[in-house]
Structure 1
Amino acid sequence: MIQSDHALPVAQVRALLWDLDGTLVDSRADITSSLNAALAGQGLDPLPLETVMGFVGHGARDLVRGCLAGRGDEDEAYGAFLDHYRANLVVATRPYPGIPEVLAAARARGLRQAVLTNKPIEHTEGILAGLGLRGFFEVVVGGDSLPTRKPDPEGARAILGALGLRPESAVMVGDSDTDTRTARAAGLWSLGVAYGISPGSLADPRPDLCVDSAAALAEALGL
């Protein structure tokens, strides 16, 4: 299903900027496992996946801080989370169904592709490589690649600069309001995916288009 507030000028699109968690890959189980390992190190009880996911999207430090809720040693828990997650990036994490095919179709059509995520770059690169997706992307920007992170437009602008493209020729694809806000701040088109981690947040602000499956995503992009 496709919901559209604005018609996407498919013929003018030259690049796709992809969010990672909740857009390209379903990483919920591995994130939750590593977060709960960090909590255990602080003598705290594990949290359910749904609670942990409520803090995803703004970077690893904010994830740990939110789940700690003022308990324990934040720096120690943050380090423990990073270490555990580094060793368990793709235990259960997989691309969403149909996403590898969408990436391949976009490449075949000549679209330039990049990843723009708030996840640390080391983890991002590890997941993309571990799942065989890294070759689809010319540029990868993580949450610690630059002084700022989404929804600040700096990352999107850095990608466009590296690709030599103007904002109006690119689409930001993501599952949350953070991605929509990033697109608006950078002057990109926004395409929301409602199959991800934060579909409720896509209500405000609304992306230009919203889809609920990889098949609808391919259709929206004219692939």
Structure 2
Amino acid sequence: MLVAFCTYPHIVFDLDGTLVDSRRDLADAANALIRLYGGRPLALDTVVSMVGEGARKLVERVLDAAAISLSIDEALERFLELYEECLDVHTRPYDGIVPMLESLGATRCLSVLTNKPARATRRLLDALDLARYVQFVVADDHRFPRKPAPDGLRHLIERAAVTPTETLLVGDSWVDLHTARAAGTGVCLARYGFGFASIPADERVGVPTIDRPEGLLAWLTS
């Protein structure tokens, strides 16, 4: 059972796997990259298991899995171009996300912290009409180290003019869990997210989890 230890006036959300289900578009872009260089496409679940630590790490893993020898910088540039072409074809907010954001945003500051490239993040939030619920965004624009480094989260805490203990990070992967712990914030894990399986069972002990987005709303407003 979840127990809310404080009201958390500041809630920070991960993007992929927490607010939006982006599996298909990420996999399609990765496989388009592979086909471009003569490789064999990877299964969707294989690509999804590589997501979470930024586009560069994803491209490195994809090239390795497809046995393609190529400059990472060149491949990353091409991948980002391919992803820009399809980033909102299949990607949608998880069921329940929009009403949850509407409700929480009425009384709390909402932020997004993601390892997704900044341009793609802005485009996706706008395309899915989620930007209007979010006050602050930190994405991968090289201003801060990527998660699980806590720098981006600390910046959001400063922008929201709150303390770490007044901040809750909601995410779906070990990256989010480690980020929250490093920054000293609260944390809640989304079991419905595609990154949840990456979290070792022993690290999840005692960590609040939700099975669906409305579970967070029920917890915080109980």
TM over 0.5: yes
* SS at structure 2 position matched to 1:46: coil
In structure 2, list runs of 5 or more residues that go unmatched.
none
- 1:10–1:222 contact (8 Å) kept in structure 2: no
Aligned length: 217
- 2:17–2:194 contact (8 Å) kept in structure 1: yes
- 1:119–1:143 contact (8 Å) kept in structure 2: yes
Cα distance in 2 for partners of 1:179, 1:210 equals 13
Partner of 1:193: 190
Map Cα deviations across residues 168-204 of structure 1 (whole Å, 9 max, x no partner): 0010000011101111100100000000112223434
Partner of 1:9: 5
Partner of 1:22: 17
- Using the size of structure 1 for normalisation, the TM-score is 0.93
Partner of 1:167: 164
**Residue 102 of structure 2 corresponds to residue 107 of structure 1:** no
Cα distance in 1 for partners of 2:163, 2:193 equals 28
Deviation at 1:150, TM superposition (A): 0.6
Cα distance in 2 for partners of 1:213, 1:145 equals 32
Shift in alpha-carbon separation, 1:80–1:204, aligned structure 2, 3 A? farther
Provide the alpha-carbon RMSD of the alignment.
1.4
Partner of 1:217: 216
Cα distance in 1 for partners of 2:81, 2:5 equals 43
- 2:144–2:152 contact (8 Å) kept in structure 1: no
Cα distance in 2 for partners of 1:50, 1:104 equals 31
**Residue 43 of structure 2 corresponds to residue 48 of structure 1:** yes
Cα distance in 1 for partners of 2:149, 2:221 equals 28
* SS at structure 2 position matched to 1:195: coil
- Using the size of structure 2 for normalisation, the TM-score is 0.93
* SS at structure 2 position matched to 1:205: helix
Residues 55-204 of structure 1 aligned to structure 2 (within 5 Å): 55-69=50-64, 71-73=68-70, 74-108=72-106, 110-202=107-199, 203-204=201-202
- 2:145–2:151 contact (8 Å) kept in structure 1: yes
* SS at structure 2 position matched to 1:115: strand
- 1:157–1:186 contact (8 Å) kept in structure 2: yes
